[in-house]
């Protein structure tokens, strides 16, 4: 919906997102805490015997990112949250092959497609976060682009919602 709205406040806020220091604290902070939680709860098979050392190391890396690499931390934090959230969305369907009829099985792939696209974008933008700024500049260069993107995302979200409620 935010891409469809043409309010100058909304457009300015979206354009400022990649370099926003306050959103960096929110997104990167949440992402770092979630990641540190996951590291702290590693099993023995996943280097769990070193979880204290790994947690301290990654906590220092997160704090160092705020000090030494503050540019585009909001984008990187959103990418971390996307990647960690994708695991929770995809785990319930792991190794489940019996979805019933073809139409029923096709429904489950609607949300998985969105998750995999989000994971791909998160990996790409996590490695090159300045591309988010470049994309937003390109998007708002012409008036119809944000409306088309927002309308497409809204339609896809509504389809996934209806399918989820009727599954």
Q: Is pLDDT of 105 > 90? A: no
Q: Is pLDDT of 62 > 80? A: yes
- Domain definitions of the chain by residue range: 8-166
Residues in the chain: 167
For the segment 104-112, the average pLDDT, to the nearest whole number, is 70
- The Cα 94–Cα 24 span in angstroms is 32
Cα 136 to Cα 27, 81, 101, 129, 145, distances in angstroms: 18, 20, 41, 12, 10
Whose CA is closest to 29, among 84, 80, 89, 85?
A: 80
- The Cα 19–Cα 32 span in angstroms is 18
Q: Is pLDDT of 96 > 70? A: no
> In this structure, are residues 75 and 125 in contact, taking their beta carbons and an 8 Å threshold?
yes
> In this structure, are residues 5 and 56 in contact, taking their beta carbons and an 8 Å threshold?
no
- The Cα 15–Cα 112 span in angstroms is 28
Q: What is the pLDDT of residue 102?
A: 44
> What confidence tens digit (pLDDT) does each residue in 1-39 have?
888 888 889 889 999 999 999 999 999 999 999 999 999
Whose CA is closest to 90, among 122, 125, 120, 116?
A: 116
Split at pLDDT 50, 70, 90, the class of 97 is low
């Amino acid at each position: 919906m935010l891409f469809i709205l043409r309010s100058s406040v909304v457009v300015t806020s979206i354009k400022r997102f990649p370099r926003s220091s306050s959103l960096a604290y929110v997104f990167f902070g949440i992402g770092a805490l979630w990641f540190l939680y996951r590291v702290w709860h590693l099993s023995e098979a996943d280097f769990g015997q070193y979880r204290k050392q790994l947690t301290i190391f990654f906590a220092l890396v997160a704090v160092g990112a705020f000090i030494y690499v503050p540019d585009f931390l909001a984008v990187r934090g959103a990418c971390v949250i996307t990647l960690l959230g994708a695991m929770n969305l995809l785990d319930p369907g792991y190794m489940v092959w019996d979805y019933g009829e073809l139409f029923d099985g096709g429904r489950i792939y609607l949300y998985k497609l969105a998750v995999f696209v989000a994971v791909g974008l998160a990996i790409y933008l996590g490695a090159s976060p300045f591309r988010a700024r470049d994309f937003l500049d390109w998007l708002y260069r012409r008036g119809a682009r944000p409306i088309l993107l927002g309308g497409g995302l809204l339609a896809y979200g509504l389809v996934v919602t209806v399918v989820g409620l009727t599954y």
